[in-house]
Chains A and B, each alone.
Chain A
């Protein structure tokens, strides 16, 4: 009898737990797969594994049941080693219906395990999934291990005593499945039972039914002898990862950004004003901040994207830290207002949770295709600093950094996240807030010597921040070109030249306050540098790790400050024979690097709405070094 461990690791019989396992839950968008995945993630984190997740769901809220486009999936990669991606190919696929099987099975590792709910494989669902014959029976899944049983019926049996209707009873299917998964990987059920009790505190029957289903799934794993083809289900233990000491939790990029903004406002000693407008996948930041009023946060759901940023600019003008957040299409709408913030030199944080584009594009899928938009996408010469978060946990520090630059340089700053970072969860070592250097803001309260000059500059080229309400400092600002120092309207040729230069130099000067670019993995110099930014961190890191283990001379450089770039980056890049730039776009950072440093950066591009697989980058590394 084969065990899961054998299925997962070809070297069966070796008394060794696998280092990492990739599990994908896939079902109808109404099956609660994201919830199942989220709870499995929590239990996995609690078990001490390092992990990364990839929620992948359709843009439709409730796509027609059973259809191929209505499939929602959640992938988790967990293990005892450093996990930085959600995993290339799943080891285990849990398919709740034929459509979920059809759309996901091609990704499963050869020899991987399929667990399918046979109760959902009736003619109707098979037709909807465009299967001519039942794949559970026709041998078409022979290259994988297949376990199918009637999860629907088993769930209904397990909740019978609660007298739920059939529809409601079947809603507990995801908890039954979760129970089975918890058993498979030796996870504690109690945190999930507690969570269910809390979630359904007002509906004890529903809570108890879900708990019963969870327990039944778990018990099924424990007791059932499955299948007549020699396949059985055995428990598998994945050891806890060795992680630095400290207090941990899981965090999504959206929450990390929200908390980072709160931290940044505190470090600046400012109240925060957040103007937002609902857009996928950025709304989660608005939701998160809306609950944090006690931290001096005012959230405002504006009538549109333009009003969202314009209100944030108004708030910054009157002395708060203005923040707005959107995704590509919304960022496009905010472009003119960003120019206003640049012209009036007011602090502002603009978060862009990127998604596939152009236009509406792929609202729920990830892409990194707004880098040009971030760096260049405004009318006029309109520079602003751009920071890119590389993971959900990294997003916290990046948000703090965005607040620092915005307030210390009186400039709008764009913080780039993406759909993957925004939605995915990963373990996060809770940072010590007191370890961050405060950057308290000082408003101008008295006119400078010789009279008020709202556009006089300090040695960083920053102009003073003057709040309305301050006696004696009344002045006017606006989008028309400003006279040097006085800020009066001035169209003079020399003045515009000088002000354009000043705006450019101020933003370039931000590079003086950021760390030198480090090499994430490998050496400063060598045959090949793989240069990335944003959420490609995980797959690049793993690919370079593997290539180096194979003896290749390759290093990983990951850029957080994408504008202005770290001052040493040009020299650093020139120390490598070759440069490879993997991006989930058609080559945007590649263009920036070529432009800035005249280096022969080679692109590796992917725009499928899915993160890179490690193997894809590994193959490109090998090609470069061949």
Chain B
């Protein structure tokens, strides 16, 4: 018998702060916050051990609303702050909350390096394809031709693709979801369970400055056939009879690209539909590049193949380098060639 009390079972309510949530009414951030607050208790996460680190932007207010430790930092730098947090105390669960401007424009460099180093944390990138907090300028993920206060004639630059950026940066986990999706907790759970940097692009509806840009695949209704929910070990199927037939994704071997095929009578094998293998990096590269329109939007866990994490390697090297050495500062100060000036007023060295 011991007198340890089992950790109290937590509820979503336990992860809410007393602060008034200050996003615009109808903002997709509310749904994401709810999804996170629903997921955390299910994961068995502990508030005292959880740190939410954010940059600047609408999404970056997120930490104020989660009853855990939280650090609302400066624009683009959340990954760098999080790296210090995690290296200093690897026991902490670190979540990074960021947006398309924060993570891919001003903070693109930090995002890239965090991913290649593989810091063990979750990065939730709220992609709304617009700068919301600064009142509606186009962002690095805005589609070409986006009209905004800073691009009254339409933007002319090619948008960044967050998932492709993450994978190209060396990420070992890439997933996608959207704000109001019922599957979002599942995606967040997979991200949490992945050891290493887990990158999640969450399409988020900015109802004020970029309303419904994801409507074609994320609207609550009528998007059957537009979402490809990926599940490890299952064929890449989407659509239904109602949406014009079940379809699948196959590999066009001749052109080395993906292709949509019709699946007749449920015989996806005959149609050559790919079975999703989350550890297949080559297919992951094709999935993150798969254009919406001709293809459905790939959602869920696109890629998940863990590798040793950065903080683990740092700790291991620190321990190895320190092994067998006794820290003696007094001795350290006297390293190198020394000499003693004696009581006889120091004429000459004592070699």
The digit string for A234-271, where 1 denotes a CB below 8 A from any CB of B, is 00000111111111111000000001001100100001
Do B48 and A472 touch (CB < 8 A)? yes
Q: Which residues 299-327 in A have Cβ within 8 Å of B in the complex?
A: 300, 302-304, 306-308, 310-320, 322
Q: Which residues of A contact B63 (CB under 8 A)?
A: 476, 478
Do A249 and B336 touch (CB < 8 A)? yes
Q: How far is the CA of A240 from the CA of B314 in the complex (A)?
A: 47
Chain A nearest CB, measured from B90 CB (Å): 10
CB-CB under 8 A for A478 and B71, given A296-B327, A306-B77: yes
The digit string for B313-351, where 1 denotes a CB below 8 A from any CB of A, is 010011001100111011011111111111101111101
Q: How far is the CA of A475 from the CA of B47 in the complex (A)?
A: 10
Count of chain A to chain B residue pairs whose CB atoms are closer than 8 Å in the complex: 229
Q: How far is the CA of A74 from the CA of B115 in the complex (A)?
A: 44
Do A315 and B329 touch (CB < 8 A)? no
Do A337 and B77 touch (CB < 8 A)? yes
Q: Which residues of B contact A292 (CB under 8 A)?
A: 332
Number of interface residues of B (CB under 8 A): 66
Q: Which residues 85-137 in B have Cβ within 8 Å of A in the complex?
A: 85-89, 91-92, 109-110, 112-113
Do A300 and B77 touch (CB < 8 A)? no
Do B85 and A188 touch (CB < 8 A)? no
Q: Which residues of A contact B335 (CB under 8 A)?
A: 249
- Among A42-50, A167-175, A512-520, A528-536, the stretch in contact with B: A42-50
Q: Which residues of B contact A480 (CB under 8 A)?
A: 72
Q: Which residues of B contact A248 (CB under 8 A)?
A: 338-341
Q: How far is the CA of A431 from the CA of B351 in the complex (A)?
A: 20
Chain B nearest CB, measured from A553 CB (Å): 32
Do A245 and B48 touch (CB < 8 A)? no
Q: Which residues of B contact A47 (CB under 8 A)?
A: 348-349
Do A240 and B85 touch (CB < 8 A)? no
Choose among B49, B326, B340 the residue that contacts A247 (Cβ–Cβ < 8 A). B340
Q: Which residues of A contact B110 (CB under 8 A)?
A: 303, 306-307, 310
Q: How far is the CA of A190 from the CA of B337 in the complex (A)?
A: 12
The digit string for B69-80, where 1 denotes a CB below 8 A from any CB of A, is 111111001011
Do A476 and B87 touch (CB < 8 A)? no
Do A478 and B72 touch (CB < 8 A)? yes
Chain A nearest CB, measured from B284 CB (Å): 24
The digit string for B36-62, where 1 denotes a CB below 8 A from any CB of A, is 000000000001111101101000000
CB-CB under 8 A for A243 and B53, given A273-B87, A310-B81, A476-B63: no
Q: How far is the CA of A479 from the CA of B70 in the complex (A)?
A: 12
**Residue A469 CB within 8 A of the other chain:** yes
Do A243 and B346 touch (CB < 8 A)? yes
Q: How far is the CA of A429 from the CA of B346 in the complex (A)?
A: 13
Do B72 and A311 touch (CB < 8 A)? no
Q: Which residues 42-70 in A have Cβ within 8 Å of B in the complex?
A: 42, 45-48
Q: How far is the CA of A116 from the CA of B87 in the complex (A)?
A: 54
The digit string for B167-184, where 1 denotes a CB below 8 A from any CB of A, is 000000000000000000
The digit string for B188-212, where 1 denotes a CB below 8 A from any CB of A, is 0000000000000000000000000
Q: How large is the interface on A (under 10, 10 to 19, 20 to 34, 35 or more residues)?
A: 35 or more
Do A271 and B337 touch (CB < 8 A)? no
**Residue B236 CB within 8 A of the other chain:** no
The digit string for A338-363, where 1 denotes a CB below 8 A from any CB of B, is 01100010000000000000000000
**Residue A489 CB within 8 A of the other chain:** yes
Q: How far is the CA of A314 from the CA of B81 in the complex (A)?
A: 4
Q: Which residues of A contact B314 (CB under 8 A)?
A: 298, 300
Do B74 and A479 touch (CB < 8 A)? yes
CB-CB under 8 A for A469 and B339, given A311-B83, A340-B74: no
Choose among B53, B317, B334, B340 the residue that contacts A314 (Cβ–Cβ < 8 A). B53
Chain A nearest CB, measured from B305 CB (Å): 24
Q: Across the interface, name the chain B residue whose C-beta is closest to A267.
A: B329
**Residue A552 CB within 8 A of the other chain:** no
Chain A nearest CB, measured from B20 CB (Å): 10
Q: How far is the CA of A46 from the CA of B336 in the complex (A)?
A: 11
What are 16 contact pairs spanning A and B, CB under 8 A?
Answer: A47-B349, A245-B343, A249-B336, A259-B333, A273-B84, A298-B88, A310-B73, A310-B74, A310-B83, A311-B83, A317-B81, A430-B338, A469-B49, A474-B68, A474-B70, A479-B72
Q: 8 closest A-B pairs (Cβ-Cβ)?
A: A314-B84, A478-B72, A311-B84, A310-B80, A476-B70, A307-B80, A294-B322, A468-B69
